[in-house]
Amino acid sequence: MDHSDRIVDLVESLTRAEKLALVHGAPDPDGTATGYLPGVDRLGVPELKLADGPLGVRTPGQAATAFPASIALAATFDDDLARRQGAAIGREANARGQDVLLGPGLNLIRVPHCGRNFEYFSEDPVLTGSFAGAVVEGLQSEDVVATPKHFVANNQETRRTRVSADVSERALRECYLPGFRAAVDAGAGAIMTAYNQINGTHASEHHRLLTEVLKGEWGFEGFVMSDWFGTETTVGAANAGLDLEMPGITSEEMMESFDMPDLELSDIDFGNADALPTPETAGTRMFAEPLDEAIDAGDVPEARLDDMVARILGQMERFGVLDDERNEGEIDTPEHREIAEEVATRGTVLLENDGVLPLDDDADVAVVGPAATVAMLGGGGSSEMTAFDETPTVDGIRERAGGTVTYAQGVPEIEIPSFFDDIFGDDEAATDADADTDSASVAIDDAVEAAESAEVAVVVVQDATTEAEDRDDLRLPGDQDALVEAVAAANDRTVVVVQSSGPVELPWRDDVAAVVESWYPGQADGDAVASVLYGDADAGGRLPVTFAPESEYPATEPHQYPGDDEVHYDEGVFVGYRHFDDTDAEPTYPFGHGLSYAEFAYRDVEMVDDETVRVTVENTSERDGREVVQAYVRPPHVADVERPLREFAGHTAVDIPAGESVTVDVTLDDLAFRRYDESDGWTVDPGAYGVEVGRSSRDVRAETGVSR
Ligand code: NOJ
């Protein structure tokens, strides 16, 4: 790889010790960065600060705008909004003095149980790629280095540091890698490796993936960092292409920087010990003395160290860090608050509606459920945010409602697991005592009574997920299902607002009048939910994941998930909706689904060139609406080749005023045409490809075709 003359000179001027100090982290003297490089004073190389995302910039003890979860962002099907959210997070990172943002997270949603699905975008590689690219562009437009993570196949939290994803080259190429490829094509300056192994080799020392694919085939010029304590070896990782060990400090130093010197990393109970870094790696600095010795012994070429350093300095040069030209940034501005609200609103998906929504302005509403009193900022883990200001769901509804609003909790509070509470040792006894008081004072009957005396009941329900743990099942935790059933029996105009990390089971869905999925909407929770419930905004969100009963998903055999030492991706490329199409299983709500308050008619579909499908969409209703035009490609049949029935190929979101028609172009991603052949590589089978245009993967409104 060619580095600039300045970087080449700089690397030449550095001593071995100085170089080594640039390839493993150190404690941040300010205690705000998640990862830190001290720089080299002698040569004017400034420090480099890395902060967690991806739901905003997380610096301990400080607030920032709490943006909606990544899955909510993807549900907008609006890349431009993703670019704007990325740029806003970039400005906030600058305001907090952070140079690198540890996001976006973009692992494919393979299993609905994964505890981090809210940090990821979708079950589809093309949709994932477009959001990954857009967020990278947004962040980096503010000169903040983006760090797409976790490369690759970190699709579950169970045994995440040990498990080997046994995955075919075809599934890797067609499903798990394209999001990262898109992020690299968008110019990502850094990449974070996964904790897990891929086919028996840890991601941080996977030469083929890091050096051959990422840096070779894709031409990635940035630096590859490990996940925290995820560097397993010195020689293996360095020679495989890892450039930066993070955090590079021992667990003791980390605890000291948290001001908890007596706590050992291994003492922390995350609820899932298998999610912890392995004890061997948690206490070492692989890229400090051991790397020095490995170079002396000739096990790692000195040129490899030079390349690591040049890659890191190269990105510092590219984004102005080297010249101390960091942008000043801004935090918690009206614009950022508006973006957070717009994403939350547009990402809200109307799953069912028998006509109860939008609500009448003057309807008397009973709001029910413990989830209504909190703004759902996210799940637990490294993405946890602290907002300056947040609007719980019930507050947003109160503010918007013209009629009376009553509230009843109905069932005990659902605790959102907090990774950091675990680390900092929350007083469990106190929590239990609180929970007891809570359950004694709340009763479903109160909720039923409130629902009976209101015109409309709005039940707000939530799941509870965290990094380091997967969900046991897809049911709503606690007594929330019973709450919905009781309220629905008392009021036939019951609306359920679901706030979840991804798919959940909704066993009562036929008994309620409407269901709205608002994910983890972030600080603007109440405002966004109210504006969709009252129809101030059309329900513009669509599902980036299939909703189905747990037993219907792919990977239901224990060896497929959660696996043991290995997890077998036997379903190959049949992930998400591809599996449902292949098995003819009926999803509860298909990929791409989302109702609108308007109605749309599709006509005049045609290919305008080989990769663009054009369709006219008319809003036949009397309301202005927002439509997400989706395109899917159906490959020709080829003997002995199993392919998905259809593959998502692209989308365009448009606002269409009442009664008007617009012509919409959708660009078809090449990935939907290609397949990866284990011996011939990327292959486009010659033949006729169907092109479907419609409202979801199961609601095709117009069809055309193209030959390849
Ligand atoms: C572990 C997580 O997997 C990763 O996403 C995060 O950025 C690091 N910890 C740092 O907090």
Q: What does the pLDDT look like over 642-682, one tens digit per residue?
A: 999 999 999 999 999 999 999 999 999 999 999 999 999 99
- 380 and 291 together in one domain: no
- The string of pLDDT tens digits covering residues 496-531 is 999 999 999 999 999 999 999 999 999 999 999 999
What's the pLDDT band for 255 if we cut at 50, 70, 90?
Answer: low
Indicate the top mutation candidate among 106, 192, 249, 383 to test ligand 1's pocket, ranked by most ligand atoms within 8 A of CB.
192
Taking the mean position of all CA atoms in its chain, how far away is CA 285?
29
pLDDT in tens, 475-496: 999 999 999 999 999 999 999 9
Residue of 59, 149, 245, 469 to test ligand 1 pocket, by largest number of atoms within 8 Å of CB = 149
Full domain range(s) for residue 698? 598-707
Region 419-431: mean pLDDT is 52
Residue 227: CB within 6 Å of ligand 1? Answer: yes
160 close to ligand 1 (CB < 6 Angstrom): no
Rounded distance between C-alpha atoms, residue 185 and residue 188, angstroms: 7
* Tokens at 35, concatenated: 């990862």
Ranges 63-67, 418-422, 621-625: which has the least confidence: 418-422
Q: Which residues of 478-514 are buried (b: 16+ CB within 10 A; e: fewer)?
A: bbbbebbbbbbebbebbbbbbbbbbbbbbebbeebbb
Q: Quick check: helix, strand or coil at residue 515?
A: strand
Reduced to 3 states (helix: H, G, I; strand: E, B; else coil), residue 700 is: strand
Ligand 1, atom 5: closest residue by C-alpha? 382
Give the residue whose CA is nearest to atom 1 of ligand 1: 228
Going from the Cα of 441 to the center of ligand 1, the distance in angstroms, rounded, reads 38
Which range is least confidently modeled, 55-59, 174-178, 361-365, 430-434? 430-434
Measure the CA dihedral 353/70/237/252, to 10°. -110
Given 510, 544, 578, which residue is the final one in a domain?
544
Token digits of residue 102: 């540890």
- Determine the pLDDT at residue 266: 53
Same domain, 540 and 626: no
Q: What's the number of domains the chain is made of?
A: 3
Q: Assess whether 527 and 605 both reside in one domain.
A: no
In sequence order, the 6+-apart residues with CB closer than 8 A to the CB of 577 are: 123, 124, 546, 587, 590, 591, 592, 648, 697
Ligand 1 centroid–CA 194 distance in Å is 9
Whether residue 149 has its Cβ less than 6 Å from ligand 1: yes
Residue 417 banded pLDDT, cuts 50, 70, 90: confident
Between 40-44, 127-131, 251-255, 457-461, the lowest mean confidence (pLDDT) is in 251-255
356 shares a domain with 314: no
| Domain CATH code at residue 38 | 3.20.20.300
ω into 568 cis (within 30 of 0): no
Do residues 619 and 524 share a domain? no
Question: With a 6 A CB cut-off, is 52 part of the ligand 1 pocket?
Answer: yes
* Three-class DSSP category at 704: strand
How many CA atoms lie less than 13 Å away from 455 in the CB half-sphere?
A: 14
Q: Kindly state whether residue 312 falls inside one of the protein's structural domains.
A: yes
State in Å: Cα 228 to ligand 1 middle.
Answer: 6
Residue 334, domain member (yes or no)? no
How far is residue 410 from each of residues 81, 306, 477, 561, measured CA to CA in Å?
Answer: 36, 62, 14, 35
Q: Is 196 in the pocket of ligand 1 (CB under 6 A)?
A: no
Chain mean pLDDT for the chain: 93
**Would you say residue 408 lies in a domain?**
yes
The answer to whether 126 touches 169, Cβ cutoff 8 Å, is: no
Q: Are residues 393 and 313 in the same domain?
A: no
Q: Is 307 in the pocket of ligand 1 (CB under 6 A)?
A: no
What pLDDT sits at residue 441? 81
Token reading at 194: 């996964």
Regarding whether 396 and 277 lie in a shared domain, the answer is: no
Q: What is the DSSP string of 521-576?
A: -GGGHHHHHHHHHTTSS------SS-B--GGGSS--STTTTT-SSEEE-TTTT--T
587 within some domain = no
Report pLDDT digits (tens) over 548-565: 999 999 999 999 999 999
Instruction: Give the distance (Å) from ligand 1 centre to CA of residue 245.
Output: 13
The answer to whether position 603 is within a domain reads yes
CB neighbours of 349 closer than 8 A, spacing ≥ 6?
75, 516, 517, 518, 539, 541, 542, 543, 593, 594
483 and 539 in a single domain? The answer is: yes
Q: 304 and 161 in one domain? A: yes
pLDDT higher than 50, residue 270: no
Task: Please report the sign of the dihedral spanned by the C-alpha atoms of residue 461, residue 578, residue 111, residue 544.
Answer: negative
Contact 309, 23 (CB under 8 A): yes
**Are residues 386 and 488 located together in one domain of the fold?**
yes
Question: Which one of 501, 524, 544 terminates a domain?
Answer: 544
Same domain, 31 and 172: yes
Residue 550 included in any domain: no
626 φ, ψ (degrees, to nearest 5): -125, 125
228 lines ligand 1 (CB under 6 A): yes
Residue 151 vs residues 193, 263, 270, 482: alpha-carbon distances, Å:
4, 30, 23, 40
- Is 562 within a domain? no
Question: What CATH number corresponds to the domain at position 399?
Answer: 3.40.50.1700
Quick check: 569 pLDDT over 80?
yes
Whether 514 and 646 share a structural domain: no
Residues annotated as part of the active site? 227
**The two three-digit tokens of residue 673, written as one number:** 């045409």
- Which pair of tokens denotes residue 82? 């993703």
The residue length of the chain stands at 708
Burial of 69 (0-12, 13-18, 19+ CB in 10 A): buried
The residue whose CA has the least distance to atom 8 of ligand 1 is: 228
Nearest CA to ligand 1 atom 3: 227
According to DSSP H, which parts of 401-524 are helical? 419-423, 428-441, 444-452, 480-490
Query: Which residue among 318, 333, 362 closes a domain?
Result: 318
pTM confidence score: 0.96
Q: Is residue 210, in this structure, part of any structural domain at all?
A: yes
- The neighbouring-strand residues paired with 408 are 368
Q: What is the Å distance from ligand 1's center to 307 Cα?
A: 24
CA 437 centroid distance within chain = 35
